Amino acid sequence: MKIIGTGSAHPALSVTNDMIAQFLDTSDEWIVSRTGIKERRLITDETLEDLAVEAAKNAMENAGVKLDEIDFLIVSNVVNEYDTPSLSCVIHGMLGLECPSFDINCACTGFMYALDIAESFLKTHDYRNILIVCAEEPGRMVDWKDRSQCVLFGDGAGAVVVTQGDNLKAVQLRTHSKVDPLWQKRLMQPTPFVTKEEKGGPLVMNGQDVFKLAVSSSTDDIDIVLRRAGMTPDQIDYYVLHQANIRIIEMIRRFVRQPQSKFPVNIEKYGNTSSATIPILLDELNRSNRLKEGDMILMSAFGAGFTTGAVVLRWGKN
């Protein structure tokens, strides 16, 4: 496969660290120095579906692909306003697509999984184009009374169109079943037969555990995916990493011993938008013409589960 178009969309409201410090015991200084985040966008009047559709349309326009040329829609999403149907069904109708679709929930690693699924579909079906949309609304999940987690996240959507090609050089996906560091339970509807009590609530996160798992699993994945691609760290032009914490990115950078210029970031503007961080960053790089035909990109992400993944991809439409 190859990526032939990118798109993204953000909520209108930008929430600065100072705005959060008005209702929580935190400060711009603490958040910037510990995370690199200065502001994040949060959904207010718009819906996640609106953002997903806008990102999808931007990606299709960038790819020069029309609606009837999309043969499959894959949506990566953790939470949205519906438990069912899937977000893909909702935005499928809003876009006016006619192809099949489904959602995946691999938390922040969703884009890595979606790329691998798209590659397999392109190999096993006579599909031309697959639309991947990562649309996430962690603002709906976090505990807005817990300063150690709510400051980290933002809402947003990123999308790509992929087509037949030979640009996916290597993939490494993993699931470590470690639920404790990061989880959220949904509220159970009362039934006449179930007597046990199950309580829903906001996200629960052990930040330090997630931090350690993120660094150890990402550095492992990067090592493995580079070996699979038959490449050394020097041969990668850009490391497009999950935007969760600038200190995690910096530790990974030191592991591969590569210059900062190879590690584009936008975490200061958007915080952690879960699986949307990498396609949003890719879209920024693409639209600002920083990516050149033939550039080698290494993407790597980690998230609840614990899921992790890394991909080496050659950039280019040819």
Is 78 an interacting residue with respect to ligand UT7 (CB under 6 A)? no
Catalytic: 125? no
Q: Which is nearer to ligand UT7, 8 or 272 (CB)?
A: 272
**Residue choice 8, 62, 88, 272 for contact with ligand UT7 (CB under 6 A):** 272
- The catalytic residue among 129, 245, 272, 286 is 272
Work out which of 1, 31, 59, 70 binds ligand UT7, going by CB under 6 A.
Answer: 31
Cα–Cα distances (Å) from 305 to 11, 112, 204, in that order, read 27, 14, 13
Q: Which of 108, 129, 134, 150 is catalytic?
A: 108
Query: Shortest approach of ligand UT7 to residue 34 CB, angstroms?
Result: 5
Would you say 131 or 151 has its CB closer to ligand UT7?
Answer: 151
Q: Is 211 in the site for ligand UT7 (CB under 6 A)?
A: yes
- Active-site residue flag, 92: no
Candidate list 19, 30, 94, 265; residue touching ligand UT7; CB under 6 A: 30
> Contact positions toward ligand UT7, by CB under 6 A?
26, 30-31, 34-35, 108, 147-148, 151-152, 205, 207-208, 210-211, 214, 244-245, 272, 303
Active site residues: 108, 242, 272
